[in-house]
Amino acid sequence: MPHHDPIPRSRQADYERAASAWARYKRMMKWMVLAAAVTVGLSLLYLWQSGGPMPLHLIVATIAGVGLTVLVGTGLMGLVFLSNRSGHDDEAARGGQDDDQ
């Protein structure tokens, strides 16, 4: 089976690539925490303006439901991009073979 990259890559480049991808992921997740907080705030504002009573249970459920949904969704999607940028997808495409072969 032909190899896609006949020249073995250095392991140092792989570590630098992964470190760069993780730094970008962490930076993105900080912004996503802010986006989740804004989304929760807008959701609570909408519920308050709808005119109905807002018991504590509704507020807690809205914060947990909306906030965690935004964070989990963006976190998982970010991990998809992280695996691509860090080189993990390349390793999977090679089928776990070493670069030396």
| DSSP characters over 53-79 | ---HHHHHHHHHHHHHHHHHHHHHHHH
Tokens 């804004």 correspond to 38
C-beta separation of 75 from 29 below 8 A: yes
Q: How many CA atoms lie within 13 A of 18 on its CB side?
A: 11
Question: In whole angstroms, what is the distance from residue 79 CA to residue 67 CA?
Answer: 18
Percentage of the chain beyond pLDDT 70 is 75
Structure tokens at 50: 């709808």
Q: Pull the structure tokens for residue 19.
A: 């470190």
Residue 6 has a pLDDT of 56
Highest mean pLDDT among 24-28, 49-53, 86-90 belongs to 24-28
